[in-house]
Structure 1
Amino acid sequence: MIIKAVYEDNVLKPLEKLDLPEKTEVRITIKGSFSKLLDELGELEAKVDIDKVLEDMRIRNYYE
């Protein structure tokens, strides 16, 4: 399951309702290195050429 969440008051808050029982333990992976890219591009559509996106990433400095 992939969801979007906001970090607020030291808590991750999902932007949508999760179909999970209370107190379910989950594993969360935060991939901050692509945050600038995702902010710039937004949601990618299937028609986007991923090779072009990766080439643009290599040129720009997304790995600070």
Structure 2
Amino acid sequence: MKTVPGYVQSRWAAPTGIKIGDIENAPMSDLINEFITGDIKIEDYASEINRIANDRYQEALDALK
């Protein structure tokens, strides 16, 4: 993971703007955990989390320039 720019943000830490339980702005990792447990459906959030992940990746690439 240290060799892929933005991976930690896009996979775990990026805030999503989605409320999960008491967390108003759940990080990506919380959404993934909810998908695994079946509490929420990935298809309801797939396009949004894809956009967030790609944005974080692009931000990291831009920072390397």
Highest CA radius of gyration, 1 or 2?
1
Q: Which has the higher contact order (CA 8 A, sep 6+)?
A: 2
TM-score normalised by structure 2 residue count: 0.32
Structure showing the higher helix proportion among its residues: 2
TM-score normalised by structure 1 residue count: 0.32
